[in-house]
Amino acid sequence: LKEPVGVCGIITPWNFPNAMITRKVAPALAAGCTVVIKPSEFTPYSALALGVLAERAGIPAGVINIVTGMPTEIGNEIMANEAVRKISFTGSTRVGSLLMRGAADSVKRLSLELGGNAPFIVFDDADLDLAIEGALVSKFRNGGQTCVCANRILVQAG
């Protein structure tokens, strides 16, 4: 028998605020869960605007909950609160490690999308003009502030 996990804590970064929230909230709602969203303290209005849109779309009160403020205090409450059964976090490896320890103590389910070291690979048979254009877009999209931004460019020799 498949059942909703329960309340999901959604912790999102500043660099893609609406995309990260909707990407995490949609599957939780589809599975029958309610959510508590803790957006970045740098982009709280994006989350609040999505909350207004959800309300206008007819999502019942209490299904999508948004808490803004100081990250450590809110994060600690989300981790300690027994009603929260799953955490979904996108952000730094350092904070992800802290959340992993906290989730282990309370046996919460945990999904982490942490900082990466993304390679851009160019093979011998690549169209070099397209590869250069793709590398520049990959490295500098969103000011280079994404976890999938190319940090290493590897070119096949041979």
Q: What is the pLDDT of residues 92-146, one digit of tens each?
A: 889 999 999 988 888 999 999 987 778 899 999 999 999 999 999 988 877 777 7
Predicted confidence (pLDDT) at residue 158 exceeds the cutoff of 80? no
Is there a catalytic annotation at residue 113? Answer: yes
What are the structural domains, with CATH classification, of the chain?
7-113 (3.40.605.10), 119-155 (no CATH)
Catalytic residue among 33, 113, 133, 149: 113
Place of tokens 């952000």: 91
Catalytic residue among 8, 33, 147, 149: 147
* Percentage of the residues of the chain whose pLDDT score is greater than 70: 99
Structure tokens at 87: 């955490």
pLDDT at res. 82: 93
Whether 119 and 153 have beta carbons less than 8 Å apart is answered as yes
Mapped onto helix, strand or coil, the DSSP state of residue 4 is coil
Across the range 37-52, mean pLDDT stands at 96
Q: Whole-angstrom Cα distance, residue 27 to residue 6?
A: 12
In angstroms, the first-to-last Cα distance of the chain is 54
Predicted confidence (pLDDT) at residue 83 exceeds the cutoff of 80? yes
Q: Whole-angstrom Cα distance, residue 49 to residue 55?
A: 10
Identify the burial level of 3 via C-beta atoms within 10 angstroms of its C-beta, where 0-12 means exposed, 13-18 middle and 19 or more buried. exposed
Is there a catalytic annotation at residue 55? Answer: no
Predicted confidence (pLDDT) at residue 33 exceeds the cutoff of 90? yes
* Window from 10-14, 15-19, 34-38 with minimum mean pLDDT: 15-19
Mapped onto helix, strand or coil, the DSSP state of residue 121 is strand
| Chain centroid offset of residue 96 CA | 11
